[in-house]
Amino acid sequence: MIQLVSPSKEFKQSFIQGVTEYEGEDHSPTSERYSKLSPSDLEKDFDAFVEKELSQSRGENLPEGYVPQTIYWLVDGDEFIGNVRIRHSLTEHLREIGGHIGYDIRPSKRGKGYGNKILELALQKARELGIENVRITCDATNVASKKIIEKNGGVLESQVPNPETGVEKCAFGLNRSKN
């Protein structure tokens, strides 16, 4: 059964396997996020990692300038597939570059429809959090993400250069109150 769940020690081994898959990836914001995680440290104290993930929805353990965000993991049965971060509010930077929702699918599970599913479920969770007008962004070069966003009702609102990477960012609006 494919579903979004709160981070949980139940998925420890599968999550760690997913982390190791990112080791061979080119440096993207996603792979860099995972490269900061040490599989051996996760093995030693996965409970602390899970608690840190959960605490971010309470506005705790956030890097400076970050907003509270709820993190969910996409699982298929007992297997970790990917994660999604739903930001409760937007800073000016997030409005242009990051949006309300950021998601990723582990490398071995891409191209299997999980991207569409994670965004579909994340939009439901965003609505539960009271976010009616969702903003989501992706690199202009990320054709797969653009298709996923559009398939889930995203309408291109702007395209601006990302000052951090030099790559154009596409920003989409999704008004969930109309659905």
What's the pLDDT at 2? 97
Average pLDDT over residues 42-51: 96
Q: pLDDT at residue 87 above 80? A: yes
Q: pLDDT at residue 179 above 50? A: no
Instruction: Give me the domains of the chain, ranges plus CATH numbers.
Output: 2-131 (3.40.630.30)
Q: pLDDT at residue 176 above 60? A: no
Q: What is the pLDDT of residues 152-171, one digit of tens each?
A: 999 999 999 988 888 899 99
Average pLDDT over residues 66-88: 96
DSSP string covering the chain? -EEEE---GGGHHHHHHHHHHGGGS-S-HHHHHHHTS-HHHHHH-HHHHHHHHHHGGGT-SPPTT---EEEEEEEETTEEEEEEEEESS--HHIIIIIBSEEEEE-GGGTTSSHHHHHHHHHHHHHHHTT--EEEEEEETT-HHHHHHHHHTT-EEEEEEE-TTTS-EEEEEEEEGGG-
Q: pLDDT at residue 30 above 80? A: no
What's the pLDDT at 157? 95
Q: pLDDT at residue 74 above 70? A: yes
Q: What is the pLDDT of residues 94-148, one digit of tens each?
A: 988 899 999 999 999 999 999 999 999 999 999 999 998 999 999 999 999 999 9
